[in-house]
Amino acid sequence: MPQPIRFIFGLHLHQPVGNFGSVFSQHLDEVYLPFLQKVDEREFFPLVLHISGPLLEWLESNGKGYLDLVGRLVDAGRLELLCAGMYEPVLASLARQDRIEQIGWMREKLRKRFGFDARGLWLTERVWEPELAADLADAGVQYALVDDRHFLVTGFERNQLHAPWMTESDGRRISLFPIDERLRYLIPFRPPGETAAYLRELANEGHRMAVLADDGEKFGGWPGTREWVYEKGWLDQFVTTISALVDNGEVELSTFAQTLPAVPIAGLAYLPTASYREMEGWALPAIAARRLINLETELGEERLLGPESGLLRGSHWLNFLVKYVEANRMHKKMQALSLLCRDRGDPSVARVAIGRAQCNDAYWHGVFGGLYLPHLRDVIWRELAIAERMLRIREPLEAEVFDIDADGHREIWVHSSDFSTIVSPYRSGGIEEFTLFASEINYANTLTRRREAYHLVSAKPGNHGGGDEQGTPSIHDLESRIRLNELPPVDALPRVLLQERGLPAALDQKSYERGDFDSLDVPGDGPLPYTIESSADQLTLSFKLVETGITTFEKHYSFAPDGRLTATYRWSPAALAPEGTFAVEVSYRGPLEITASPAADTWSYDITTVAKSEKGLEETVQGRSVTFLWPSSVGSAMLELLPASGVERR
């Protein structure tokens, strides 16, 4: 009989900062508690558990004894706890000092709550960069979990990945445990016997270790899994099946801490920038993502499961900040405030708020809504507002000019003790953020309607992968079934708070709402020269479009210290088509009062996107669009913006 294979069974439980309380409660009742109670009842241990910081904080107040159960199992040596960044950031997206601090917060939390010194790290979304090794080591981490794919794209063979490896950066070392993708797709979606057969196969080949570490939510929280895992008895059957292997000496349940000294390090590995296969595909722009999907289809499932699969890649997680300008705005504002916070003595209220704003979910989009869920973006901006309010106490009204979003062009950051706004002269003076600290709302937090790869899939009959009578479909099987009968509208330009356009007189509102129109030349979407004039009670940004020595368009943003905004426009009627219309679209989220002078016709509609979720395609209202229209002959207009009454949060 071969030596028993160490089977490490790890769960990652997570909920993002700002998710609805009802979602936390539902997952506690239907996933987290039932799973842990069942394995405790069946004495199916040891296991490994990671609980994300936002979920851990919620469970401390609402957990119905869940953390007491975790604590009892930890004390008994039946659970190993993993650390991570406290508020579930993608570590590769943070400054080094922020990475180390986030991990330190989590490790300290686990020490205080459970008396457990966590030396293993759950790598959020398994986003790896080579330089992380040094930072993890500096944070006290001894080993981290990555996907086997990280090794495969480097040229390793699958049969090399059933042992821990060593890596280093700047002379600091950590061990890496490859997570087995095949186990991720077997558990819990296939009958337990298939997992047992696979573990026997590995053991017979002489392998010493097999690692399953994946989202705990798929054990009852993903569509169809609650019925499959609990009501149809998958979990009971799985425990029975694997326990029989344990009793027979074929399998040994183990933790990472137990395995590291028992299974020899396989050698040195330097892994490239990588994440899991699906993530790399989601990070691609829509057209490139469709090319990748088509190429995968041409290769076929057999070759994709073979050694060539590691040579076929998408993009890296950080490309989401290129793909979605809204994600980049949040990310770069977070970075700027993190630096400002450290420069001003790092007050704890601001630092924790910045840490919470680093939660990854709202910065990207895959099979789950992520960036497309407005309440998740809202909470990022709320935390940034809390931090900036603390950092700007008693500050006067002023403006800074520098490239805040790292695109090679300078923005204007206007701020006081009451508000903060970002204006881009390079993008025709668009207001990309407009945050008032009293309400903790960024009123520019809408979302551009853009083409996604899954919009481009035509309907196909028949089965598109997934479960049968012996299994249940995974979330990625469900993703493959998404089909659209009609393409949703897209926006020609990224949305900003105020967008000026010249419109043809014949344009109707329905075409305008769908984006089926061409703007006239005033003011265009390119760079605009600007000036800044400031006094104690007002700061004005002025932009002008000059053609052949004649000013054809100008606008002035006047900010009061409390954030009240007045936008004044002047244009040359001759620059518009005869009988044309000058229009200003206000795209906003949150209660906002807008006054126009002179009176104008208005078109208004909800800014609605069609995006993937775990339930399929969903329409989501991202904000409100109100467009003010004046005949070109008017030549000038003004808008005043201020929060609606009664929205102050604190």
Contact status, residue 216 vs residue 13, Cβ threshold 8 Å: yes
Q: Where are the alpha helices (DSSP H) in 411-519?
A: 475-479, 509-514
Work out the angle between the directed axes of helices 348-357 and 374-391 (0-180°, nearest 10).
Answer: 160
> Which residues sit opposite 442 in a β-bridge?
435
- Asked if omega into 178 is within 30° of 0 (cis), the reply is no
**Nearest residue to 388 via CA among 304, 330, 462, 461:** 330
Q: Where are the alpha helices (DSSP H) in 363-488?
A: 374-391, 475-479
What is the token pair recorded at 209?
Answer: 């270790």
Strands 209-215 and 5-13, how do they pair?
Answer: parallel
CA-CA distance, 484 to 454, in Å (whole number)?
Answer: 8
Catalytic residue among 215, 407, 525, 562: 215
Contact status, residue 86 vs residue 113, Cβ threshold 8 Å: no
Core vs surface per residue 602-621: b (16+ CB within 10 A) or e: ebeeebbbbbbbeeeeeebe
- Answer positive or negative: Cα dihedral of 502, 506, 511, 513: positive
Beta strands in 337-429 (DSSP E): 398-402, 411-415, 419-424
Tally of CA atoms within 13 A in the half-sphere of 331 that contains its CB: 28
Core vs surface per residue 546-563: b (16+ CB within 10 A) or e: eeeeeebbbbbbbbbbbb
Quick one: the chain helix, strand, coil %, rounded to 5? 40, 25, 35
How far, CA to CA in Å, does 234 sit from each of 185, 186, 212, 241, 648? 14, 12, 17, 10, 50
**Nearest residue to 399 via CA among 411, 387, 386:** 411
> Which residues sit opposite 169 in a β-bridge?
172
Catalytic residue among 88, 125, 148, 388: 125
CA-CA distance, 232 to 200, in Å (whole number)?
Answer: 25
Beta strands in 60-216 (DSSP E): 79-81, 120-122, 143-147, 165-169, 172-179, 209-215
Question: Is 215 noted as a catalytic residue in this protein?
Answer: yes
CA-CA distance, 117 to 122, in Å (whole number)?
Answer: 14
User: What number of other Cβ atoms are within 10 A of residue 485's Cβ?
Assistant: 6
Question: Is 125 noted as a catalytic residue in this protein?
Answer: yes
What's the one-letter identity of residue 241?
A: T
Q: Which residues are catalytic?
A: 125, 215
